[in-house]
C-alpha cells in the first residue's frame, strides 16, 4: 500500500492560479482587440437601420467596388495557384542550380512593404518611364486603371499558394506518381489523379489565404489606383473614401462585408488546417512504409 | 476516397468557371468612351461634395443642350499628390486642384497643357476662392483668437503636410504672411514664428480632409487650420454645437484653379466637353452650387446672396506677398526649402 504523498507542486504543472490568470489575460486581450471592434463594425454599420445598410452596399459605387474586388481576386488567385503549383513542383521534384534562391525570392513580397510594391509599379510603368511611355503611345492603361490593381494584388499575394504547397509536396514525395506512370498513366493523368488529390487540402488552404489577402489589400493598390470613384476603387479603398466623405454608416457597411469575408476565411482556415496536417503525416508514413519495403 | 476526389474535381471546375466568367465580364474602360462621353475630373481633397453636386448639374445641362449623355468620374486626394499621379499617368481630362503651382507642375513635367493655361479662363482660371480660418472646439476652451495664439506653448495644432496637400501650403503662407505683415516685413521673425507653430503640430496628414477627420473624429488637437469651406462643411456635418470657427485678423486669398489637359482631352476627343464643363462653373447655376458648398463665388450677385456665410476679413494674395506661386513653391516647399529646414517631427 502506497502512502499518499502530500501535495507537492509538480515541475510540469503550473499552479492553478497562474493558469487561470494566463487564460483570463488572453481572453481579455481577445475581447479588447478582436471581439469589441468586430461588434463595433456591425453596430456602426447598422446604426442607421437595416434599410440604410442595404442601400449603402447596393449603391452603384459600392457595387462597382465589390465587382472590382471580386474580379481582382478571380484573376489573382488562379494565377498565383498555378504559379504556386509549378514552383512547388519544381522545388519538390527537381534539383537545379539556384533552387535555394528561388525559394527565397518567392518570399520577397512578404518582406517588401505593400506601399513600396505599389511604388515599384508606378516607377516601372509610370507614363514618363520608357515602358510606360510606349504603353501610352499604344493607348494601353496599366497603372491608375484596373490592370494595375490586378498586378499589384498578384505581387502581394504571390507567395501564399507556393508557401503552402512546397512543404506538402516535399513530404508527399514522388513514389505514387512514379507508380502511376509505371501503371501506364500519362503525365497529365498522373498530375490530375495523383498529384492534385495528394495536395488538395494544402492547395485549398493556400487559395483561401491568397483570396483573403487579395480582397483585403490596401497599401499596394492604393498607390496604383488613382482613386477614381466607381472605377478604380476596391472595397478597402472605397471604405476609406466613404469615411472621408463623412458617410460613416456606409463606410462601416462596406467594412462589414470585408469583416464577414475575414470570418469566413477563419472558418475555412480552421477546417482546412485540420485536413492539411493529417495529409502531411499520412504522406510521411506512406513514405516510411515504402522505404521499408524497398 | 473516390467520391471525395470527384467532389473536389467538381468544386475546382466550378470555381475555375466562375473565375473565367468574372474575367470575361470585364470590359476595358477605354471602350466605353465612344457610346456616351466620359470625363475624369482629378481634384483636391475637400471638393468631394462640391463636384459631386456640380457634375450632376452639369450632366443635366449638357444633356439638355447637346443630347449627349455624359458621365463625370471623380478622384479626390491631396492636391500635390493628385498632380503627381496625373504626371505619372492618371488619365485626367480636367484637373481642379488646390493651387496654381500644382497645375504648373503638370505643365512643366508632363507637358499635358500649355504653360499659359491660367489665362484661358476668367479670374486666373479660379472660378471660386476661399481663405484659411481656424476651427476650434466648442466654447473655444484654449481661447484661440488669431494666428499668434497658435504658437503658444501647449497648443496642439492640426494642419496637413505641405509636401502633398494644397491646403497645407495655403495654411503655411497665411501664417507666414500674418507675421511678416505684423513685423513690418521681417523675414527672420516670420520664419521663427512659423517654425514655432509647426513645433505644435503633432501629426501631418497627406490631405486637408485627412486633417479634418483627425481633428473632428479622432479628437486630436486644440485647433485645426483649415480651408474656410472645409471648416463650414465640418460645422454642417457635425453640428454647430461641437466646433466653432475663429476668423483670424488677416488671412490669405486662396484661389484654387481649374484647367483642361489638352493632350489627354485630344486623345479622348473630349476637349469641347472639358472646356464646357469648366466654363459652366462661371455660370449663375455653377456659382450658386459653389456658394452652397461653402466656396466663395466670383459672381457679385451670388456673393451678395451668401454674404452672411462668408465674413469680411483683410486678405492678401500670393502674388502680392510672395511674388506668385512658382517662387513661393521654390522658396518654401521644394526639397531643401524653408519648410524642410524648419520642420522637425514631434518626438
List pLDDT tens digits, range A180-211: 989 998 888 888 888 888 898 889 999 999 99
CB contact under 8 Å between A144 and B23, yes or no, is no
C-alpha cell at B187: 523675414
Q: Write out chain B residues lying below 8 Å of A71, CB-based.
A: 22-23, 25-26
CB contact under 8 Å between A74 and B267, yes or no, is no
- CA distance to partner chain A, nearest, from residue B177 (Å): 30
CA distances to A100, B212, B240 from B168, in Å: 49, 12, 24
Tens of pLDDT, residues A53-79 = 999 999 999 999 999 999 999 999 999
Contact assessment for residue A163 and residue A106, using Cβ atoms and an 8 Å cutoff: yes
CB contact under 8 Å between A127 and B16, yes or no, is no
Instruction: State the burial class of residue B61 (Cβ atoms within 10 Å of its Cβ: 0-12, 13-18, 19+).
Output: middle
Secondary structure class of A141 (helix, strand, coil): coil
- CA distance to partner chain A, nearest, from residue B52 (Å): 10
Residue of A74, A143, A231 with shortest CB distance to B73? A231
Could you give the CA distance from residue B150 to residue B196 in angstroms, rounded to a whole number?
A: 9
Contact assessment for residue B338 and residue B191, using Cβ atoms and an 8 Å cutoff: yes
Contact assessment for residue A258 and residue A238, using Cβ atoms and an 8 Å cutoff: no
Radius of gyration of chain B (CA): 23
What pLDDT is attached to residue B118? 96
Sign of the dihedral defined by the CA atoms of residues B159, B164, B165, B168, in that order? positive
- CA distance to partner chain A, nearest, from residue B49 (Å): 8
A interface with B, Cβ–Cβ below 8 Å:
70-71, 74-75, 77-78, 122, 125-128, 132, 136, 139, 141, 143-146, 193, 196-197, 200, 226-231, 241, 243-246
Among chain B residues, the shortest Cα distance to A230 is held by: B73
Contact assessment for residue B221 and residue B215, using Cβ atoms and an 8 Å cutoff: yes
Could you give the CA distance from residue A261 to residue A82 in angstroms, rounded to a whole number?
A: 23
- CA distance to partner chain B, nearest, from residue A200 (Å): 8
Among chain A residues, the shortest Cα distance to B24 is held by: A71
pLDDT reading at A215 higher than 80: yes
What pLDDT is attached to residue B27? 41
CB contact under 8 Å between A127 and B110, yes or no, is yes
Is residue B33 very low, low, confident or very high in pLDDT (cuts 50, 70, 90)? very low
Look at residues B41, B42, B43, B49 and name the one whose alpha carbon lies nearest to residue B230.
Answer: B49
Look at residues B207, B182, B192, B198 and name the one whose alpha carbon lies nearest to residue B321.
Answer: B182
Could you give the CA distance from residue A77 to residue A73 in angstroms, rounded to a whole number?
A: 6
Could you give the CA distance from residue B61 to residue B280 in angstroms, rounded to a whole number?
A: 9
Contact assessment for residue A229 and residue B39, using Cβ atoms and an 8 Å cutoff: no
| pLDDT over 90, % of chain B | 85
Percent helix / strand / coil, chain B, rounded to 5: 55, 15, 30
Tens of pLDDT, residues A5-55 = 555 555 666 788 888 999 999 999 988 888 898 899 999 999 889 999 999
Q: How many CB atoms lie within 10 A of CB B182?
A: 17
pLDDT reading at B14 higher than 80: no
C-alpha cell at B324: 506668385
Look at residues B229, B254, B225 and name the one whose alpha carbon lies nearest to residue B322.
Answer: B254
Is residue A1 very low, low, confident or very high in pLDDT (cuts 50, 70, 90)? very low
CA distances to A26, A69, A201, A216, A286 from A261, in Å: 24, 12, 20, 9, 37
Could you give the CA distance from residue A211 to residue A217 in angstroms, rounded to a whole number?
A: 10
Secondary structure class of B314 (helix, strand, coil): coil
Could you give the CA distance from residue B338 to residue B139 in angstroms, rounded to a whole number?
A: 35
Q: Write out chain B residues lying below 8 Å of A128, CB-based.
A: 87-89, 109-110
C-alpha cell at A58: 447596393
Q: Write out chain B residues lying below 8 Å of A132, CB-based.
A: 88-89
**Judged by CB atoms within 8 Å, which residues 74-113 of B form the interface with A?**
74-77, 85, 87-91, 109-110
Could you give the CA distance from residue B324 to residue B305 in angstroms, rounded to a whole number?
A: 31
CB contact under 8 Å between A228 and B40, yes or no, is yes
**Judged by CB atoms within 8 Å, which residues 232-261 of B form the interface with A?**
237
What pLDDT is attached to residue A8? 56
Among chain A residues, the shortest Cα distance to B85 is held by: A226
C-alpha cell at A187: 503525365
Tens of pLDDT, residues A153-166 = 999 998 999 988 99
Tell whether B26 lies on the interface with A, counting CB pairs under 8 A: yes
pLDDT reading at B279 higher than 60: yes
Contact assessment for residue B222 and residue B216, using Cβ atoms and an 8 Å cutoff: no
Secondary structure class of B72 (helix, strand, coil): strand
**Chain B interface disruption, residue of A120, A226, A234, most B CBs within 10 A:** A226
Which ranges of chain A does DSSP label H, i.e. alpha helix?
Answer: 16-30, 36-45, 50-58, 60-93, 99-106, 108-111, 114-125, 130-137, 146-157, 159-172, 175-182, 187-190, 196-216, 219-225, 235-244, 248-293
Contact assessment for residue A162 and residue A106, using Cβ atoms and an 8 Å cutoff: yes
Among chain B residues, the shortest Cα distance to A193 is held by: B5
Among chain B residues, the shortest Cα distance to A133 is held by: B89
pLDDT reading at B140 higher than 60: yes
Instruction: State the burial class of residue A289 (Cβ atoms within 10 Å of its Cβ: 0-12, 13-18, 19+).
Output: exposed
Tens of pLDDT, residues A244-276 = 998 999 999 999 999 998 888 889 888 888 887
Residue of B16, B75, B89 with shortest CB distance to A132? B89
Radius of gyration of chain A (CA): 25
Residue of B30, B42, B73 with shortest CB distance to A141? B30
Name beta bridge partners: B39: B72
Sign of the dihedral defined by the CA atoms of residues A128, A134, A137, A142, in that order? negative
What pLDDT is attached to residue A172? 86
Tell whether B213 lies on the interface with A, counting CB pairs under 8 A: yes
Q: Write out chain A residues lying below 8 Å of B26, CB-based.
A: 71, 146
Tell whether B30 lies on the interface with A, counting CB pairs under 8 A: yes
Instruction: Tell me the HSE value of B51 on the side-chain side, using a 13 A CA sphere.
Output: 26
Among chain A residues, the shortest Cα distance to B19 is held by: A74
Amino acid at each position: 500500500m502506497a502512502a499518499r504523498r502530500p501535495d507537492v507542486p509538480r515541475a510540469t504543472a503550473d499552479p492553478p492560479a497562474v493558469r487561470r490568470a494566463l487564460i483570463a489575460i488572453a481572453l481579455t486581450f481577445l475581447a479588447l482587440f478582436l471581439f469589441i471592434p468586430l461588434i463595433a463594425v456591425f453596430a456602426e454599420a447598422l446604426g442607421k437601420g437595416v434599410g440604410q445598410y442595404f442601400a449603402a452596399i447596393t449603391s452603384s459605387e459600392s457595387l462597382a467596388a465589390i465587382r472590382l474586388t471580386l474580379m481582382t481576386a478571380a484573376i489573382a488567385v488562379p494565377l498565383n495557384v498555378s504559379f504556386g503549383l509549378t514552383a512547388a513542383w519544381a522545388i519538390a521534384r527537381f534539383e537545379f542550380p539556384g533552387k535555394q534562391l528561388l525559394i527565397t525570392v518567392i518570399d520577397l513580397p512578404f518582406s517588401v512593404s505593400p506601399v513600396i510594391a505599389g511604388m515599384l509599379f508606378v516607377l516601372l510603368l509610370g507614363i514618363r518611364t520608357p515602358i510606360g511611355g510606349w504603353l501610352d503611345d499604344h493607348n494601353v492603361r496599366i497603372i491608375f486603371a484596373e490592370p494595375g490593381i490586378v498586378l499589384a494584388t498578384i505581387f502581394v499575394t504571390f507567395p501564399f499558394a507556393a508557401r503552402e504547397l512546397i512543404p506538402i509536396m516535399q513530404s508527399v514525395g514522388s513514389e505514387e506518381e512514379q507508380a502511376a506512370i509505371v501503371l501506364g498513366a500519362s503525365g497529365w493523368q498522373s498530375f490530375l489523379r495523383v498529384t492534385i488529390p495528394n495536395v488538395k487540402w494544402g492547395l485549398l488552404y493556400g487559395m483561401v489565404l491568397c483570396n483573403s489577402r487579395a480582397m483585403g489589400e490596401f497599401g499596394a493598390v492604393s498607390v496604383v489606383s488613382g482613386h477614381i470613384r466607381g472605377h478604380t476603387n476596391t472595397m478597402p479603398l472605397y471604405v476609406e473614401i466613404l469615411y472621408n466623405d463623412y458617410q460613416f454608416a456606409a463606410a462601416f457597411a462596406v467594412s462589414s462585408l470585408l469583416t464577414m469575408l475575414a470570418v469566413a476565411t477563419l472558418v475555412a482556415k480552421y477546417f482546412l488546417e485540420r485536413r492539411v496536417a493529417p495529409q502531411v503525416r499520412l504522406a510521411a508514413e506512406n513514405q516510411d512504409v515504402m522505404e521499408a519495403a524497398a | 476516397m473516390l467520391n471525395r476526389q470527384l467532389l473536389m474535381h467538381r468544386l475546382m471546375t466550378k470555381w475555375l468557371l466562375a473565375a473565367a466568367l468574372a474575367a470575361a465580364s470585364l470590359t476595358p474602360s477605354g471602350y466605353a468612351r465612344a457610346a456616351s462621353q466620359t470625363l475624369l475630373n482629378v481634384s483636391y481633397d475637400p471638393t468631394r461634395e462640391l463636384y459631386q453636386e456640380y457634375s450632376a448639374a452639369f450632366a443635366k445641362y449638357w444633356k439638355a443642350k447637346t443630347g449627349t449623355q455624359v458621365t463625370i468620374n471623380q478622384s479626390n486626394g491631396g492636391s500635390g499628390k493628385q498632380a503627381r499621379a496625373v504626371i505619372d499617368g492618371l488619365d485626367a481630362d480636367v484637373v481642379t486642384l488646390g493651387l496654381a503651382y500644382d497645375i504648373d507642375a503638370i505643365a512643366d513635367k508632363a507637358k499635358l497643357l500649355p504653360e499659359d493655361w491660367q489665362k484661358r479662363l476668367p479670374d486666373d482660371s479660379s472660378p471660386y476662392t476661399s481663405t484659411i480660418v481656424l476651427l476650434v472646439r466648442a466654447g473655444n476652451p484654449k481661447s484661440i483668437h488669431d494666428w499668434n495664439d497658435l504658437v503658444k506653448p501647449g497648443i496642439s495644432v492640426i494642419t496637413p503636410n505641405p509636401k502633398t496637400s494644397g491646403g497645407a501650403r495655403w495654411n503655411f503662407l497665411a501664417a507666414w504672411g500674418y507675421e511678416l505683415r505684423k513685423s513690418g516685413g521681417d523675414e527672420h521673425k516670420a520664419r521663427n514664428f512659423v517654425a514655432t507653430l509647426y513645433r505644435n503640430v503633432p501629426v501631418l496628414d497627406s490631405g486637408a480632409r485627412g486633417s479634418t477627420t483627425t481633428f473632428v473624429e479622432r479628437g486630436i488637437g486644440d485647433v485645426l487650420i483649415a480651408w474656410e469651406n472645409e471648416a463650414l462643411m465640418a460645422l454642417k456635418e457635425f453640428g454647430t454645437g461641437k466646433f466653432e470657427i475663429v476668423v483670424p485678423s488677416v488671412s490669405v486669398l486662396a484661389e484654387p484653379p481649374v484647367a483642361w489637359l489638352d493632350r489627354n482631352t485630344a486623345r479622348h476627343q473630349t476637349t469641347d466637353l472639358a472646356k464646357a464643363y469648366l466654363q459652366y462653373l462661371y455660370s449663375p447655376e455653377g456659382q450658386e452650387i459653389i456658394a452652397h458648398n461653402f466656396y466663395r463665388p466670383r459672381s457679385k450677385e451670388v456673393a451678395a446672396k451668401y454674404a452672411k456665410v462668408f465674413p469680411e476679413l483683410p486678405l492678401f494674395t500670393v502674388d502680392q506677398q510672395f511674388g506668385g506661386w512658382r517662387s513661393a513653391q521654390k522658396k518654401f516647399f521644394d526639397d531643401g526649402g524653408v519648410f524642410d529646414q524648419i520642420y522637425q517631427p514631434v518626438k
